[in-house]
């Protein structure tokens, strides 16, 4: 538990900015290059949990870089190099202030809206007669605002265009890229015995004005997966689907009295639980990529990361 990346405080040549998200620390170099460090922090219910998860950053970074490379023929992306297993380097883009959420199945937030009697989400209709985890006839794009602080909020295509958040020409292109990326991700998942349930994509424009895919894609932090085997039987019998995501961490927190509400204390995460989360993330990596996970040396993990980045920059 001591050999995890909980926080970084590096100072690189040409560094102009440092942004610390829930999971990633992002260093800007010369205002045109980003160094994105996937830490071992884990968040749930909009709170960063107190313990780092060994190898989690490496898992997320390697899954994301693998899928970015596998989808580069669909849309250009920001990634230029991975100088360390927990680090990605790429071009800085001006982000569109929406997240393109796409849903292949009625689950999560969409299911909760449906269960409460709503038959549209983000201005998109949902068919009658569905039950939790049923597959939609066609994937639904349900965008959200991209909040600087606080929660992202559902928003419709019409409202995005009305508010001028994204131009109509650009938004049509974002929808097209979103559907094509989801189709590719779904095909790759099925080849590995998985179903890509829902995910989100973020886009920006590079300095030449080219629409570019940014951030991570198809990781268990940004996506939900079901196991393909047994899916139909479970739906027919009204049983819960087995999820491949960090949903198991949320469930553990709920069972221990925490859902991020005022006055609630984050429960103690002992070493056995932390290690079990780490093992689950490694299992997710191997299921999603079809590759064996190779644990990187972590005796002095911060030194390793800093040296690898400096060597790359030089």
| Residues facing residue 34 across a β-bridge | 28, 90
User: How many C-beta atoms surround the C-beta of residue 172 within 10 A?
Assistant: 13
Tokens of 286: 């191997």
Closest CA to 246 of 6, 60, 30, 8: 60
pLDDT at 149: 58
3-state secondary structure 243-298: EECCHHHHHHHHHCCCCCCCCCCCCCCCHHHHHHHHHHHHHHHHHHHCCCCCCCCC
Q: Which domains does the chain have, with CATH numbers?
A: 95-244 (3.30.470.20)
Strands (DSSP E) found in the chain: 15-20, 24-29, 33-38, 43-44, 47-48, 79-84, 87-91, 94-95, 98-105, 120-121, 124-125, 135-141, 144-145, 194-205, 211-214, 224-227, 243-244
How many angstroms separate the CA atoms of 96 and 161, rounded?
12
**pLDDT tens digit at each of 314 positions of the chain:** 458 999 999 999 999 999 999 899 999 999 999 999 999 999 988 899 999 999 999 999 999 999 999 999 999 999 999 999 999 999 999 999 999 999 999 998 999 999 999 999 999 999 999 999 999 999 999 999 986 655 679 999 999 999 999 999 999 999 999 999 999 999 999 999 999 999 999 999 999 999 999 999 999 889 999 999 999 999 999 999 988 878 789 889 989 999 988 999 999 999 999 999 999 899 989 999 999 999 999 999 999 999 999 999 98
- What is the b/e burial string over 280-310, where b = at least 16 CB atoms within 10 angstroms of the residue's CB? bbbebbebbbeeebeeeebeebbebbbebbe
163: DSSP letter? H
How many angstroms separate the CA atoms of 274 and 38, rounded?
17
Radius of gyration of the chain (CA): 20
How many angstroms separate the CA atoms of 219 and 221, rounded?
5
User: Which stretches within 17-167 are classed as H helix?
Assistant: 56-70, 108-115, 157-163
How many angstroms separate the CA atoms of 216 and 202, rounded?
8
Tokens of 285: 């990596």
Q: Do residues 83 and 89 touch, judged by C-beta distance below 8 A?
A: yes
Q: Do residues 98 and 157 touch, judged by C-beta distance below 8 A?
A: no
Give pTM, 2 decimals. Answer: 0.91
């Amino acid at each position: 538990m001591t050999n995890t990346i909980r926080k970084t405080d590096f100072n690189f040549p040409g560094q102009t900015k440092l942004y610390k998200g829930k999971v990633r620390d992002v260093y800007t170099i010369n205002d045109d290059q980003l160094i994105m460090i996937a830490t071992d922090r884990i968040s749930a219910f909009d709170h960063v949990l107190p313990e780092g998860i060994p190898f989690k950053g490496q898992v997320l970074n390697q899954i994301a870089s693998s899928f970015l490379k596998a989808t580069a023929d669909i849309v250009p992306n920001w990634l230029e190099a991975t100088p360390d297993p927990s680090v990605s380097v790429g071009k800085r883009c001006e982000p569109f202030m929406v997240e393109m959420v796409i849903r292949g199945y009625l689950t999560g937030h969409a299911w909760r809206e449906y269960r409460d009697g709503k038959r549209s989400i983000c201005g998109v209709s949902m068919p009658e007669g569905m039950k939790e985890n049923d597959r939609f006839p066609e994937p639904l794009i349900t965008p959200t605002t991209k909040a600087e602080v606080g929660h992202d909020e559902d928003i419709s295509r019409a409202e995005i265009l009305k508010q001028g958040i994204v131009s109509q020409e650009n938004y049509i292109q974002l929808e097209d890229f979103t559907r094509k990326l989801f189709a590719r991700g779904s095909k790759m998942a099925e080849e590995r015995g998985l179903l890509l349930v829902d995910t989100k994509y973020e886009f920006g424009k590079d300095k030449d004005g080219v629409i570019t895919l940014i951030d991570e894609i198809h990781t268990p932090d940004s996506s939900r997966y079901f196991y393909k085997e047994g899916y139909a039987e479970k739906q027919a019998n009204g049983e819960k689907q087995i999820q491949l995501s960090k949903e198991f961490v949320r469930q553990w927190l709920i069972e221990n009295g925490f859902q991020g509400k005022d006055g609630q204390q984050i429960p103690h995460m002992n070493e056995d639980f932390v290690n079990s989360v780490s093992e689950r993330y490694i299992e997710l990596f191997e299921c999603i990529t079809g590759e064996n996970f190779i644990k990187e040396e972590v005796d002095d993990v911060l030194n390793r990361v800093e040296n690898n980045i400096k060597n790359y920059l030089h």
